[in-house]
Amino acid sequence: MLGDRRATIIGFAGALLVLAGLIWFIGPQDILDGLSAADPAMVALVLLAAAGWVSAWGMSLWTVLRALGAPIPAWKAIAVFTSAMFANNVTPFGQAGGEPVSALLISRAADSDYEDGLAAIASVDTMHFAPSIGLTLVGITFVLLQGVTPGRNILFATGILAVLTVGFVIAALVGWRYRYRVESLIVAGMTPIVSAVRRILPGHSELSSNAIERRIENFFHSIERVATDRKTIAMAIGFSALGWFSLSLALWFAVTAVGADVPLGPVLLVAPLGSIAGFTPLPGGSGAIEGAFAGLLVAATGISAGLAFSGVMVHRAATYWLLTLIGGGVASAIGANGS
């Protein structure tokens, strides 16, 4: 289901090499000292905040599925979102690579068409963007109020976010303005490709051009249903914002757990800015995200690189490795019985 396993293995090997390089550069002893001193009570709070993050984003998916006419219980939406995070975490380029698999898991769990599942996860991922910008601005404001001059890492990451924001807004406005034209172009371009792929795949019957066009059009119609439902958008973005805050809170608890005394405000900008590294060609951005988080923590709070990386490792253990294990189990259950 996850495609070429060799690509996943190579991706994880690359991520481990990046992590090993970071550990060697920062100093293994400094990192071990931080991890060995971790406060169990604070680590428990990291796990609690991580659960809040997944739950909030799962509720965002629940909101979108209701708008698409494929409602499922809230607990099930959270479980399905966990399985979608597993798909993102084990495929290159993070969300971009995992969305097709996530869409399949969602469609099976919600007993809906695949294009509805793809529209749901695409809508949720898109709506995560606005709250991330807001949280970054709040974090930068706290840094400036403390009289700290933003370092090169923060300025660089903020510049990338600004470029992505402008590009996103322009693409959204142009795409929405000419959505029917875009839909026609994609239908015309994708139909022969999908038809050719299905002809060469064993066990797959050939679809007619009309059937392929109908499925692509259904995807765009599902996107339009979500985009024109203001209540759904407001609720989904609200849950997304809560999730971003919970993810940042988990990072703050993790850094505090290893002995760093830092205010919450500057930490708020690290999660949304550092998550940009998730688009690197590594499974779930593993390796790149750890480096980005640690570098931004040092720049925003002034703590040592050893403490920063130790805190990030605790954070990622809860929000990446543990989530991947749990999500993998959920994905297997969905794949086995479709619910």
Q: Which amino acid is at 238?
A: G
- pLDDT reported for residue 5: 64
- pLDDT reported for residue 3: 47
- pLDDT reported for residue 96: 58
- pLDDT reported for residue 315: 96
- pLDDT reported for residue 13: 79
Burial of 307 (0-12, 13-18, 19+ CB in 10 A): buried
- pLDDT reported for residue 245: 95
Please, which residues have CB within 8 angstroms of residue 14's CB and are 6 or more apart in sequence? 281, 282, 287
Q: Is 169 left (phi over 0), alpha (psi -120 to 50) or beta?
A: alpha
Cα separation, 223 vs 240, whole angstroms: 18
Please, which residues have CB within 8 angstroms of residue 121's CB and are 6 or more apart in sequence? 61, 84, 99, 102, 103, 106
Q: How many CA atoms lie within 13 A of 97 on its CB side?
A: 24
- pLDDT reported for residue 233: 93
Profile the chain (339 residues) by mean pLDDT over runs of 10 residues: 60 80 86 88 96 96 92 92 87 65 84 85 86 83 68 62 69 69 64 54 52 72 84 94 95 94 88 79 82 88 90 94 91 70
- pLDDT reported for residue 73: 93
Cα separation, 249 vs 229, whole angstroms: 30
Burial of 259 (0-12, 13-18, 19+ CB in 10 A): middle
- pLDDT reported for residue 301: 84
Helix axes 152-177, 129-145, angle to 10 degrees: 150
Residue linked to tokens 């470029």 = 163
